[in-house]
Amino acid sequence: EYDEDVIFEQSPASGKIRKGDKITVVVSSGSDMITLADYTGKNIDVVTAELDALKINYVTEYKAVNNYSKNEVFQQSPGNGSKIKRTSTITLYVSSGIPVPDLLGLTKDRAIATLRDAGLVEGTISEEASSEKAGTVFWQSTPKETPVDKGTEISFTISKYSSGPVVTTIPT
């Protein structure tokens, strides 16, 4: 119920004593309960160092998620503000990176919006002749589902025109 190293009882309780008299104190070894901090958005190395210092058990689970950089905690269980016993184990859910979305076949504007929605940034956008539908992405610098850090630039190329089959009419 008291923080660690806090004197919470003494004998005699109060009054005058003479030099050389004995005073007995009781010092807290700390509470069995702690209140969890909010670890979301923090680097897993920083969080585990803090938990190790507090002697709190934890497990980690990694998952590719949008808007969180690699090794960033995106969820914890129990949550922020929860009171737990020091002997409890908390679960830290950690980003293995943002999965790059599939941009192929999207328009330039839709590709940019898709990247930004995922926490990524458009890199170099070029146009090139191709056999793909005009105005759509036909190449991207990082393959879909590849885990990357938040804010990573993804470049892509838009088809200038569609070079479909050439139809020639021959007069008869």
User: Does residue 86 register a pLDDT over 70?
Assistant: yes
Which positions ≥6 away from 86 have C-beta within 8 Å?
30, 31, 32, 33, 34, 54, 55, 56
How many CB atoms are located within 10 Å of the residue 152 CB?
21
User: Does residue 169 register a pLDDT over 90?
Assistant: no
What confidence tens digit (pLDDT) does each residue in 12-23 have? 888 788 888 888
User: Does residue 5 register a pLDDT over 90?
Assistant: no
Residue ranges of alpha helices (H) inside the chain are 44-53, 108-117
User: Residue 38: its pLDDT value, please?
Assistant: 96
Q: CA-CA distance, 38 to 45, in Å (whole number)?
A: 15
User: Does residue 138 register a pLDDT over 60?
Assistant: yes
How many CB atoms are located within 10 Å of the residue 124 CB?
10
H/E stretch holding 18 reads none
Q: CA-CA distance, 106 to 110, in Å (whole number)?
A: 6
How many CB atoms are located within 10 Å of the residue 101 CB?
19
User: Does residue 139 register a pLDDT over 90?
Assistant: yes
